[in-house]
Amino acid sequence: MNEEIKSFTISIYTENHIGLLNRISAIFQRRHINIESLTTSQSEIEGVNRFVIVVNMTETNTVKIVKQIEKQVETIRAYYHEEEDTIFTESCMFKIKSDLLFNEPQIQNIIKESSARIVTVNKEFFVLEKSGRRNEIESLRRDLNVFGIMQFVRSGRIAVTKEQMKITEMLTAFNNQ
Amino acid sequence: MKTQTVNKTQVAEKTQRIAGSEAIVRSLMAEGVDILYGYPGGAIMPVYDELYKFKDQIHHVLTRHEQGAAHAAQGYARISGKVGVAMATSGPGATNLITGIADAQIDSTPIVCITGQVPSHLLGSDAFQETDIVGISTPVTKWNCQVTKSEDIPEAIAKAFYIAKSGRPGPVLVDITKDAQFGELDFKYEKCKGVRSYIPIPKTDPETINAASELINNAKKPMIVWGQGVILGKAEAELKAVIEKAGIPAAWTILGASALPTSHPLNIGMVGMHGNYAPNKLTNECDVLIAIGMRFDDRVTGSLDTYAKQAKIIHFDIDPAEIDKNVKTDVAVLGNSKESLALLFDALNKNTHDSWLQEFKDLYAIEFEKVIQGDINPTKEGLTMGEVIKQINIESKGNAAIVSDVGQHQMIACRYADFNVTKSNITSGGLGTMGFALPAAIGAKMAAPEREVVAVIGDGGYQMNIQELGTIFQQKAAVKIVVLNNEFLGMVRQWQQLFFDKRYASTEMTNPNFVAIAEGYYIKAKKVTKREELADAVKEMMASEESYFLEVCVEKEGNVFPMIPSGASVSDVRLS
């Protein structure tokens, strides 16, 4: 009866309230769930924030956590989805010594093939930016690591769902009450 | 142009330019608050200055510790169904409220806590008596917020009261900086009628009522376990109607006690670790288990792997997060218990389950012989806790509110107290907070002065908030206090005896002269050590118009049975 642990993307629509991040992260902390990634931003609705949280856990526990998140007064709605029900991406940046760009011609090929973008170049360093799936970013990092990376940073996952969210309808229904 | 002028005049009539501190007091009064409990200090002083001005309209009770204020607000809320209010200063004042807030959170008690905070320009600077109380209280509040601008005060307080009492109730904390208290605003109070991100009562799907009634109508051995959701939803009459119509034996969780009179023929007693033998045992015999406004706490279910596996489970609850949290349900009925039980009533067939009910009676007879008889009619030398509760029943005729603390005496009080009236069992259930009862009894008595309020406390828990005797004395709160003194932390000692080979680590207590302490606070006091003194002493206490302290020295190593050992199955409930 050991339930499979899977990757779930939890999407949360919330009011923009100070302290809500604490309230939500505490729900994961209590159950010792490690958050794989968390991003928060403005959503499609003015004044409404959206959290995208990626966790690895069983579906049973995901359901319980999503309900406990939704129970928070300032959560408008919370959903969970499996990977195939979302369209997602991550982005990353590399800071690399500029000399390498000229001394190691292979780097130019790597950049080209990975469809990474050069954000800036100066005498000392250049900065690469790439969006995509984790495996693509990882493979680029491995390729560049051979030559030396001054700085690397990767964002959390952002995702939109294939399913319709109907948040606007919910809020309109409240306003019409 | 003309309409605009009219509007302006109306607004001018309704608003008043006042200080934030006055707005706090006026907002509380607008919410119908007549009593609040608290303790002053630097960051809340402007509000206390206003309370002084309004003392004819709103009564501030000075407790002797902020924890006492929080528990008193809880006692007030639990007996009245209204929102209890506690107030404290920043820093230690605020952190001292936390235990009461956590208790209110897990027991769904509506309280609003107002805390003072250092001026906003000092926030985050480790100022004197600054603490991040919003951060600290987040995991144990239903909602909280910090107000740094005077003009935000009325709306924050309105929202706090709305959230505390709506849906599944809970504690709310509003932290208000001192500059917001000093600043001025145009005051106009509007009660909160809704928060767009919050659905307090989920809609009841009629299909779920149909599914539930079909299971119940076809059940041979249905059993109800109800919890505090019945009391919070004011659904006592609906519960009674349902069980009578369908003839269903009904048991209660500790916080559900008193929703149905103890004497009701279908009331089969308490479930859980120290609940009654029959409902625990027969949880694993019933064919349909109907849970109403309860949350399948581990103290109720024992091991989940062996809990009611044979039964179809129907769960009525207002909180969707409780559904399938611990026990997987076959039918979940969301909504307010008052409405959903009324719908269920209409869909149920008239029925009786006499032979099934007889099974409960047969097991009760066994429990009576092996446990209850010895508890309430003992012949052995030492006084028992059970016989004290029995004497209280005789004098109260089942009409008293019993406020219990945590431990052996609590289990005995809940098992043996007679309840005729709802909201009469006030105790710390989920959190198990020792020290709860004395201050909670103060709040209960002040909220319902017409009721007899008896605090039943162990010698351990009593000393956790014993300072509140000062509040009882100052307020002339006619609380009756019974300390069942076994000179042990009895419940822990019982576990040490049963599971740790009688290694009584730090559970024996050398106690002070409790009578002298009570008398030091000018409270009438008596100590009973012999059985023949008990009846008269309880009678004298109950007849007293004023507060009264009664210490009963009970047997030192008495145990509470039945007992489901931690992690065992409800079927394995032990009688000895």
Q: Do you know the residue count of chain A?
A: 177
Catalytic residue among B142, B178, B281, B312: B178
Q: What is the 3-state secondary structure (H, E, C) of B422-480?
A: CCCEEECCCCCCCCCHHHHHHHHHHHCCCCCEEEEEEHHHHCCCHHHHHHHHHHCCCCE
User: At A65, is the secondary structure helix, strand, or coil?
Assistant: helix
Q: Do A174 and B194 touch (CB under 8 A)?
A: yes
ipTM of the modeled complex: 0.92
Closest-CA residue to B396 (of B416, B374, B373): B416
Say whether residue B522 is in contact with chain A using an 8 A CB cutoff.
no
Nearest to A71 among B135, B196, B319 (CB): B319
Is pLDDT of B166 > 70? yes
Alpha-carbon distance values, B330 to B302, B303, B310, B312, B337 (Å): 20, 19, 12, 6, 18
CA closest to A14 among chain B residues: B197
- Is residue B491 part of the annotated active site? The answer reads yes
pLDDT digits (tens, 9 = 90+) for A16-57: 988 999 999 999 999 999 999 999 999 999 999 999 999 999
pLDDT of residue A172: 84
Judge whether B133 and B95 are in contact, CB under 8 Å: yes
Structure tokens at B59: 């009564």
- pLDDT at residue B290 is higher than 50: yes
Partner residue facing B320 (CB), from A22, A67, A175: A67
Output the pLDDT for position B562.
98
- Rounded Cα gap, residues B193 and B159, in angstroms: 8
* Minimal-distance CA residue of chain B relative to A62: B325
DSSP A95: E
Residue-level pLDDT at A169: 85
Contacts of B198 in chain A (CB under 8 A): 73-74
Q: Do B321 and A15 touch (CB under 8 A)?
A: no
Name chain A contacts of B138, Cβ cutoff 8 Å.
19, 22-23, 26
- Nearest C-alpha in A relative to B147: A18
Contact residues, chain A, for B195 at CB < 8 Å: 73-74
Residue-level pLDDT at B4: 44
CB-CB contact of B107 with B430 (8 Å)? yes
Task: State the span(s) of chain A assigned CATH 3.30.70.1150.
Answer: 89-154
- Extract the tokens encoding B25: 């007091």
- pLDDT value at position A145? 95
Closest residue, chain B, to A48 (C-alpha): B197
CB contact (8 A) between residue B138 and residue A76: no
Confidence (pLDDT) at A1: 58
Residue pair B131/B56 in contact by the 8 Å Cβ criterion: no
Strand B84-88 with B111-117, pairing = parallel
Q: How many C-beta atoms lie closer than 10 Å to residue B435's C-beta?
A: 26
Q: CB burial class (10 A; 0-12, 13-18, 19+) of residue B41?
A: buried
Chain A: closest CA distance from residue B2 (Å): 29
Shortest distance, CA B195 to any CA of chain A (angstroms): 8
Does residue B160 carry a pLDDT above 60? yes
For residue A2, what pLDDT is reported? 84
Of the candidate ranges A62-66, B9-13, B141-145, B456-460, the one whose mean pLDDT is the lowest: B9-13
- Residue B361 a catalytic site member: no
Residues in A closer than 8 angstroms to B139, CB to CB, are 23, 26, 30
A47 vs B: CB within 8 A:
no
Extract the tokens encoding B234.
């004011």
**What is the rounded distance in angstroms from the CA atom of residue B368 to the CA atom of residue B376?**
10
| DSSP letter, residue B19 | E
B125 interfacial to chain A (CB closer than 8 Å): no
| Confidence at residue A87, expressed as pLDDT on a 0 to 100 scale | 96
User: In the structure encoding, which two tokens stand for residue A129, read together?
Assistant: 């930016």
Of A18, A63, A75, the CB nearest to B197: A75
Q: Which of A19, A70, A177 sits opposite B138 (nearest CB)?
A: A19
Interchain CB contact of B324 with A (< 8 Å)? yes
Q: B571 falls in which pLDDT band (50, 70, 90)?
A: very high
CA–CA min distance A90, chain B (Å): 29
The span from the CA of B422 to the CA of B444, in Å, is 13
Q: Do A73 and B319 touch (CB under 8 A)?
A: no
Query: What CA–CA distance (Å, rounded) separates B407 from B122?
Result: 43
**A176 CB near a chain B CB, below 8 Å?**
no
Write out B506-535 in H/E/C secondary structure: CCECCCCCHHHHHHHCCCEEEEECCHHHHH
Q: Given this model, what pLDDT does residue B331 score?
A: 98
Q: How far is CA A177 from CA A165, B41, B195, B196, B199, in A?
A: 20, 43, 11, 10, 12
- Tell me whether A95 touches chain B (CB under 8 Å): no
B410 in catalytic set: no
How high is the pLDDT of residue B66? 98
Q: Using 50, 70 and 90 to split pLDDT, how confident is the model at A167?
A: confident
For B54, phi and psi rounded to 5 degrees?
Answer: -100, 20
Instruction: Look over chain B and give the mean of its residue pLDDT values, rounded to a whole number.
Output: 96
SS3 A91: strand
Just give the CATH number of A89-154: 3.30.70.1150
Chain A residue whose CA is closest to B138: A23
Strands A48-57 and A86-97, by their bridges, are unpaired
CB B216 within 8 A of CB B290: yes
What DSSP string describes B188-219?
A: --------TT--SSPPPPHHHHHHHHHHHHT-
Q: Is the Cβ of A31 closer than 8 Å to some Cβ of chain B? A: no
- Using an 8 Å CB-CB cutoff, list chain B residues near A175: 196
Nearest to B342 by CA among B253, B237, B247: B237
**CB distance B197–A74 less than 8 Å?**
yes
pLDDT attached to residue B13: 54
Please indicate whether residue B1 is annotated as part of the active site: no
As a whole number, mean pLDDT of residues A133-147 equals 95
Task: Name the residue of chain B whose CA is nearest to A20's CA.
Answer: B138
> Mutation test of the interface with chain B: which of A25, A73, A174, A176, choosing the one with the most B Cβ atoms within 10 A?
A73
Active site includes B563?
no
Contact between B541 and B473 (Cβ < 8 Å): no
How many Cβ contacts (< 8 angstroms) between chains A and B?
51
Model pLDDT for residues A90-117, shown as the tens digit of each residue: 999 999 999 998 888 899 999 999 999 9
Buried b vs exposed e over B113-131: b needs ≥16 C-beta within 10 Å? bbbbbbbbeeeeeebebbb
Q: Is the dihedral of CA A153, A156, A160, A162 positive or negative?
A: positive
| Structure token digits, residue B259 | 């929703």
Residue A7's identity, in one-letter code, is S
pTM for this prediction: 0.95
- Give the bridge partners for B460, in sequence order: none
Which residues does residue A86 pair with via DSSP β-bridges, in sequence order? A161
Give the per-residue pLDDT at A121.
Answer: 95
Name which of B348, B324, B345 is nearest B334 in CA terms.
B324
Alpha-carbon span B513 to B522, nearest angstrom: 14
pLDDT in tens, B7-65: 444 444 568 999 999 999 999 999 999 999 999 999 999 999 999 999 999 999 999 99
CB contact A174 to B (< 8 Å): yes
In chain B, which residues have their Cβ closer than 8 Å to the Cβ of A71?
A: 319-321
Contact list, A76 vs chain B (CB under 8 Å): 196-197
**Residue B558 and residue B561: Cα distance in Å, rounded?**
10
* Residue that the structure tokens 């604490």 belong to: A22
Whole-number pLDDT of residue B8: 45
> In this model, does residue A176 exceed pLDDT 80?
no
| Of B146, B198, B324, Cβ closest to residue A73 | B198
| B541-568 mean pLDDT | 97
Q: Please tell me which residue of chain B has the smallest CA distance to A76.
A: B197
* pLDDT tens, residue by residue, B426-458: 999 999 999 999 999 999 999 999 999 999 999
SS3 A97: strand
Per-residue tokens: B490: 């009895």
**Cβ(B117)–Cβ(B145) under 8 Å?**
no
**Three-state SS annotation for B73-105:** HHHHHHHHCCCEEEEECCCHHHHHHHHHHHHHH
Sequence ranges of chain A with CATH classification 3.30.70.260: 6-87+159-175
Encode pLDDT of B214-239 as tens digits.
999 999 999 999 999 999 999 999 99
C-beta atoms of A63 and B197 within 8 A: no
pLDDT at B291 over 80: yes
B510 near A CB under 8 A: no
Contact check, Cβ <8 Å, A73/B163: yes
Question: B132 and chain A: CB distance < 8 Å anywhere?
Answer: no
pLDDT-derived band at A174, boundaries 50, 70, 90: confident
**What is the Cα–Cα distance from B6 to B11, expressed in whole angstroms?**
9
| Reported confidence tier of residue B148, pLDDT bands at 50, 70, 90 | very high
As a whole number, mean pLDDT of residues B200-227 equals 98
CATH of domain A6-87+159-175: 3.30.70.260
CA distance B567 to B576: 17
Q: Is B323 on the interface with A (CB under 8 A)?
A: yes
Cβ burial, residue B486 (10 Å; 0-12/13-18/19+): buried
